[in-house]
Structure 1
Amino acid sequence: MKNLISTSFLIAITLLGFLSACKQKERLQTPRRVTENSTTYLIQDSVLIPMKDGAKIHAIVVRNAKIDEPTPAVLFHTIYARKNDLEKAKMAADHGYVGVVSYTRGKGLSPDSIVPYKHEASDTYEIIDWISKQEWSNQKVGMYGGSYVGYTQWASLKHKVHPALKTIVPSVSAAPGIAEPMENGVFMNFHYPWHHYVSNNKYLDTTLYFNGQRWRDLNMEWYEKGVAYNAMDSLDGLPNPQFNERLLHPTIDAYWQRMIPYKADFAHINIPVLATTGYYDGGQIGTQYYLREHTKYNTNAEHYLVIGPYTHFGAQAKPDTHIFGYDIDPVAQIDITELIFDWFGYILKGKPKPDLLQDKINYQVMGANKWGHAPSLENMASDTLVYYLNNQRSEVAFASLFGSGNNGKDVHYSLSEEPVNLNGYLEQTIDYSDRSNLTWNSSGWRNIVSDSLMVGNGFSLVTKPFDSDFELNGSFGGEISVTINKKDFDYNVLLFEQTPEGKFFALALPYVGRASYVLDGENRQLLIPNKKIKLPFGIVRMTSKKISKGSRLVVVVNGIKAPFTEINYGTGKNVSEETIKDAKEPLVIKWYGESYLEIPVKRD
């Protein structure tokens, strides 16, 4: 009898648990009606979507109550969980779709651990599958969003395309292992606080992340003390295991390849893609990677690009009319959010294609107040200007900040259309043990349009004035020929237009590269000290601008030693393990005259 009572008690408890779970499921799944501005929404903001491995994904679903037939869905899958994400789902509903916002596992109401990147390929695919099986779905899904959200769209295509997924619209897409946390092999400091931002709680740790002074102080303390890059969290006093885990993978190895479509993975991606980015977008590297690889491995890829003078955030929504001292042309002032929903109308509802998309590549020509259109990146230009590094001083002088080469003296050199002296060189010395001036070696720009040029301890080289107008369209290429006295170094290359009025116009963000990864991103190839090597450029940000008659092009080259990126001391060890004790003798770079740049141009 005792056993029978115990068994009955267990059955009763199990039944109560089952009924409680059913009520919980019903509570989570039953939509509530909310009316705002004469529109009634059916809102489910506490949905937990089960994954095959037992994890649960928090999702928000919003429908327009007037639509009582199966409808296409628009999905926004993000790690940036915010309390106001309901508005994104409502926006999709306002455009006649079922709006779905879902979060990376562990975020929002998900009970799981927060793990950026690693599960997105499978989780995003399963979310699409869940959407396709809902009674309100017509088995058509489109995805959109920028940065990490752009990445999750590509991740969903890693293994195969879900039959219900009809298009993706990735803006300023992250490409882990390719464009972050390193760029052409160089790790960037601004990724350090990002892991705290997204992983410290179920939403976002805005208090810590937006404490800019804290991170600036950390960068400067790390730089001044010269401790190892992988010891930054010890210096900070706050563990950052995800940051350190990524430092263990400086090459594009299997760790990164599992997260994104890689090489032949692109061959099966046969749905239309619309990508957006900007000339001044840090995420342009990722957008370019996906575009180039998609069209390389799938020659029939229907992949559209819209690019203009936009920043990382401007290229996701509505660009600012004034950025970094530059007033963008009126025709560039488009509403990218509306463009995205016009695209959804074209793909998901059979409406006309957006007028702007006159060809696969749609680019705004800065200074010309017009859009250009081309069938491919290569077809943006009709000619190529080739310039060689020349160690002869230029006949032109212009203002600079912190000097230019030659121990800070105001000296400038020429870019020649023909090689002048292949074995001639400009010699630069960088003492990694000297931290007396925190920014002495910085090259870059603070504003797109400036009165002066920041060259640091590098070299500036200038062309002769042009005798007619032309468009500079695309990414510069070429190769750098150098010798160094160590096994590796990091460097940057910047491109400017010097206008007839003497202004300097930054044509794109700087190119940053690590010499040992340029030839093969999967396998590090150390340099042989004092042996000449030719280094082709990796992914270079593209741009488009009308170059006026009387203008010159100015190139700045420099080795990197600054508080904002990993410091490569050149020993050949894992760079994140090197310290200021590894600096030893100064780095000596010889930039040879056989170095050249290829500038893509289009003439009327």
Structure 2
Amino acid sequence: MKVFALPQPLARALLVLALAMPLPLPAFAQSYAWTAKPAPDPAILQKDMADLASRVLRDLPDDRGLANLDRRYRIELVSGRYEQALRSMADLRDRLHRQEVIPSRAAWVTVPYEIHADARMNEAAGHIERTQAYRKAFRDRFATLDDWPSAEVARTFTVTDPAELQATFQEDLEATKSKSMLDQADAIRLVTDYLAATVFREALPLVPALIQEDDARRYVTQENVLIKEGNGASVCAYVMRPKKAGPLPALLEFTVYASSPEAIRGRARLSAAHNYVGVAGFTRGKVCSPGKASAYLTDADDASTLIDWISTQPWSDGRVAMYGGSYNGFTQWAAAKRMPKALKAIMPSAPVGPGIDVPMEGNVFWSFVYPWPFFTLDGKFNDQAVYGDTKRWRHLDQAWYASGRAYRDLQKIDGSPNPTFNQWLSHPSYDSYWQGMIPYRKEFSRVTIPVLLVAGYYYGGPGAAIYYFQQLEKYAPTSEHYLLIGPYHHLGAQYGVLDEQGNLIDTLAGLSVDPVAQLDMYEVRYAWFDYVFKRAPRPALLGDKVNYEVTGANVWKHAPSLSAMGNAKLRFYLADGAADDHGLALNEKAPSGKGEAIPLTVNLADRSDLQQPPTGGGVVDTAIDTRNGLAFTSQPLDAPTELSGLFSGRLDFITNKKDFDVEIDLYELTSQGRYVQLSQYWTRASYAADRTHRQLLIPGQEQHLIVEGNHLRSRQLLAGSRLVMVLSVIKDSGRQINYGTGMDVSDETARDAGAPLSIRWLTTSYIEVPVRNK
């Protein structure tokens, strides 16, 4: 399966599919009789769960290690042993505090469960009603917390969706219907998922008011502040600041994502807890801003207006910085296009670049972006119900693909007008429409403020971060800008390796995340801004302008530029001879003479693959997708090799069409037969030389396509591993299909396909991968 860049907000699905894994489970052979069946009566269910938890608890080893303590306190809670659970949580906090990996989470990660335990004990000891017991437990615990841990706990309550936790538990419960015995792993999973669903379901109706009560003790808040612009438009903001503080720097997140009042407060609370003024600003037409919402078009002016307003408030010291990821990363660059005087620093994480990587990348439009306007622009708050209707959007992709209709007909097939997406389709080049949204070319020279770009290697992790960084390298080479990049996906680059409840997630789609890369990006955020505003030391991770984790080597490295990440290049030519038993070859030796041609034929009108299941897709997997392409494999590496940087190359070819969309996927193939993602690249051939201007191909003539990779990677390749390159034509239900007529691709149909696409790849074609030799 090809791996695509996925801008936000695919938060839930991405966490589940790419990161999520159950708590580590013991490898014991115990099993437990199971006669309980899914029942609607909560009291019966609670009794069944308590009984199962008690039996599992008897078999748990007396091990005070992290994993076992984490299991133990959860099982103790379900079994009703609340005092024991509190002692286990205290032991766990002590162990977490002494860990090298994110020790700070010890201060807050167990608090929701401590409140649950306290509430149950209050209820039993004081013979008081459950909601009263909970309120008392919450207030007592929060009274002992400093601002920062309390803000983390509040965020946990705000972002955790009890309905999702309940759905997970129900799936577990349904899976036990036909079982008379449960093995220990299944029993622990059932019990712990039941606990999570119970804790957050019971908190849901009570916690928002309790958090607001606690906020009133710590902070001054201003809700639904309407800031008017000179042109008659306005934007909406929420402000939270420490009560006992004078003028402070303000940290602004400017966003189109408005999910709920509680989430809005959470955007500002963490900054206020770190002794900044926290400001959540919303794009035009959102929350309290009148009028129709729009995306991208006015954000440069609106963000600048909001920054100017912040700088003049009595609680502001006149300095403003911005942070946030995905769309909220873009808005920082929109503001930087205007460079308001008060803007002093930015920290974009996995930022999208309109026209660069969303809604198109390599000038090829993405279908998964199609529902995004419904989600963000159809109301004052986001429409999660529509956006989360995965069945509708999956059907739309498949129906369009099966029909062979024009890409512009997506809205007709769906049955709902989508004017925003159609407007995007009318700009297939990176023209003035897109150029007006973020700095363009020399406009980057004005971005002389400190910039920290955070990005990941996988699943939309980079966003357009590499593009932005390259523009700074080119146009503002002496300014203070940094790139921090490692084994993260689109959300991990924004939040790090902790899930919504603070649990450590140390794998990503089959890849073990090296311990040194296990970061809490919130901590990175405030260390960065403390450096900018409070004369704190520069974060140690920022050893040079480019800071990257070498996956598999468990080490961070630093370089003054992207090109300096590697100090040598390995060039591989396409070859029509076999690489042992691995099919076509990547040869380090150049072909003699003009070289041969390797044919690839793709019937762009064929839809027989509609129901074909995907192949591969994990960061580490046992198979890769070679549909509509060819796989080329190198000889085994003689020694461990560090691949670090952006790959490049040149494709020489002869084709029968005026255009096609090409993709390159690079993998490490280990000697154990595992494929590890290295990098990807795709482009519309007619835009490869210049994304702003289309240059059609000449059928039947030899032509050249220069490859300049934009998905950064660093990995320690193992001795004996091979490099695999899949060279393919883009043809799937998730992106436009370029039929090669030379017309606007959005207007082409399968009827325009004509003869199958034929490409003869010449063996003078090559790729170059950057490596670092010791």
Q: What is the TM-score with the length of structure 1 in the denominator?
A: 0.90
Q: CA deviation at 1:439?
A: 6.4
2:664 equivalent to 1:493: yes
2:243 equivalent to 1:65: yes
Which residue type is aligned with residue 435 of structure 2? Answer: Q
Partner of 1:177: 355
- Say which SS state the counterpart of residue 172 (structure 1) adopts: strand
User: Structure 1: how far apart are the matches of 2:217 and 2:549?
Assistant: 37
Partner of 2:617: 446
The 1:248–1:577 alpha-carbon spacing in structure 2 relative to 1, beyond 3 Å, is: same
2:411 equivalent to 1:233: yes
Among candidates 282, 293, 296, match of residue 114 of structure 1: 293
2:542 equivalent to 1:357: yes
Among candidates 502, 505, 517, match of residue 673 of structure 2: 502
Partner of 1:218: 396
Partner of 1:338: 523
The 1:390–1:440 alpha-carbon spacing in structure 2 relative to 1, beyond 3 Å, is: farther
Partner of 1:562: 732
Question: Where does structure 1 lack aligned partners over 5 or more consecutive residues?
Answer: 1-32, 398-411
User: Structure 1: how far apart are the matches of 2:686 and 2:626?
Assistant: 24
Partner of 1:7: none
User: Structure 1: how far apart are the matches of 2:458 and 2:599?
Assistant: 30
Q: Kindly indicate which of the two structures has a greater share of residues assigned to helix.
A: 2
User: Structure 1: how far apart are the matches of 2:227 and 2:506?
Assistant: 40
Among candidates 202, 225, 249, match of residue 47 of structure 1: 225
Contact 1:128–1:165 (Cα < 8 Å) also in 2: yes
Q: CA deviation at 1:301?
A: 2.2
Partner of 2:606: 434
User: Structure 2: how far apart are the matches of 1:166 and 1:346?
Assistant: 12
Contact 1:366–1:544 (Cα < 8 Å) also in 2: yes
Partner of 1:193: 371
Contact 1:441–1:456 (Cα < 8 Å) also in 2: no
CA offsets 1:184-238 (integer angstroms, 9 cap, x no match)? 1111111101111111111111001111111111000000101110110011001
Answer with 34-43 or 559-568: which moved more: 34-43
User: Structure 2: how far apart are the matches of 1:497 and 1:350?
Assistant: 43
2:297 equivalent to 1:125: no
- Say which SS state the counterpart of residue 525 (structure 1) adopts: coil
Q: CA deviation at 1:129?
A: 0.2
Partner of 2:567: 382
CA offsets 1:557-582 (integer angstroms, 9 cap, x no match)? 01111111000000000000101110
Among candidates 78, 94, 98, match of residue 255 of structure 2: 78
Trace 1:449-460 onto structure 2 (pairs within 5 A). Answer: 449-460=620-631
2:445 equivalent to 1:270: no
Considering only aligned residues, what root-mean-square deviation do their CA atoms show, in Å? Answer: 1.5
User: Structure 1: how far apart are the matches of 2:665 and 2:271?
Assistant: 40
User: Structure 1: how far apart are the matches of 2:616 and 2:531?
Assistant: 40
Partner of 2:471: 293
- Say which SS state the counterpart of residue 231 (structure 1) adopts: helix
Partner of 1:205: 383
Contact 2:664–2:727 (Cα < 8 Å) also in 1: yes
User: Structure 2: how far apart are the matches of 1:467 and 1:545?
Assistant: 16
User: Structure 1: how far apart are the matches of 2:382 and 2:676?
Assistant: 36
The 1:576–1:43 alpha-carbon spacing in structure 2 relative to 1, beyond 3 Å, is: same
May I ask how many residue pairs the two structures share in their alignment?
554
CA offsets 1:283-313 (integer angstroms, 9 cap, x no match)? 5251011100111011212110110010000
- Say which SS state the counterpart of residue 356 (structure 1) adopts: coil
User: Structure 1: how far apart are the matches of 2:453 and 2:490?
Assistant: 13
Which residue type is aligned with residue 162 of structure 1? Answer: P
Partner of 2:334: 155
Answer with 278-287 or 300-309: which moved more: 278-287
User: Structure 2: how far apart are the matches of 1:283 and 1:498?
Assistant: 22
Contact 1:513–1:538 (Cα < 8 Å) also in 2: no
Which residue type is aligned with residue 345 of structure 1? Answer: D
Q: What is the TM-score with the length of structure 2 in the denominator?
A: 0.70
Partner of 2:589: 418
User: Structure 2: how far apart are the matches of 1:423 and 1:467?
Assistant: 27
User: Structure 2: how far apart are the matches of 1:34 and 1:237?
Assistant: 42
Question: Where does structure 2 lack aligned partners over 5 or more consecutive residues?
Answer: 1-210, 498-504
User: Structure 2: how far apart are the matches of 1:213 and 1:440?
Assistant: 18
Q: CA deviation at 1:445?
A: 3.7
CA offsets 1:389-429 (integer angstroms, 9 cap, x no match)? 001122133xxxxxxxxxxxxxx111111222543121111
User: Structure 1: how far apart are the matches of 2:314 and 2:444?
Assistant: 32
Trace 1:527-566 onto structure 2 (pairs within 5 A). Answer: 527-566=697-736
Which residue type is aligned with residue 103 of structure 1? Answer: F
Contact 1:62–1:100 (Cα < 8 Å) also in 2: yes
Partner of 1:516: 686
User: Structure 2: how far apart are the matches of 1:445 and 1:425?
Assistant: 28
The 1:535–1:193 alpha-carbon spacing in structure 2 relative to 1, beyond 3 Å, is: same
Q: CA deviation at 1:37?
A: 7.6
CA offsets 1:263-289 (integer angstroms, 9 cap, x no match)? 010011110100101000425251011
Contact 2:550–2:714 (Cα < 8 Å) also in 1: yes
Q: CA deviation at 1:502?
A: 1.7
Contact 1:35–1:41 (Cα < 8 Å) also in 2: no
- Say which SS state the counterpart of residue 36 (structure 1) adopts: helix
- Say which SS state the counterpart of residue 230 (structure 1) adopts: helix
Answer with 241-250 or 534-543: which moved more: 534-543
CA offsets 1:445-471 (integer angstroms, 9 cap, x no match)? 421111223211311111111111121
Contact 2:452–2:482 (Cα < 8 Å) also in 1: yes
Q: CA deviation at 1:181?
A: 0.7
User: Structure 2: how far apart are the matches of 1:71 and 1:366?
Assistant: 39
Partner of 1:261: 439
Partner of 2:745: 575
Answer with 452-461 or 176-185: which moved more: 452-461
User: Structure 2: how far apart are the matches of 1:305 and 1:257?
Assistant: 23
Among candidates 526, 532, 552, match of residue 696 of structure 2: 526
Q: CA deviation at 1:440?
A: 6.2
User: Structure 1: how far apart are the matches of 2:509 and 2:220?
Assistant: 42
Contact 1:285–1:540 (Cα < 8 Å) also in 2: no
Partner of 2:429: 251
Q: CA deviation at 1:531?
A: 1.0
- Say which SS state the counterpart of residue 180 (structure 1) adopts: coil
Among candidates 322, 330, 333, match of residue 507 of structure 2: 322
Identity, % of aligned pairs?
A: 42
Contact 2:461–2:492 (Cα < 8 Å) also in 1: no
Contact 1:121–1:155 (Cα < 8 Å) also in 2: yes
2:658 equivalent to 1:462: no
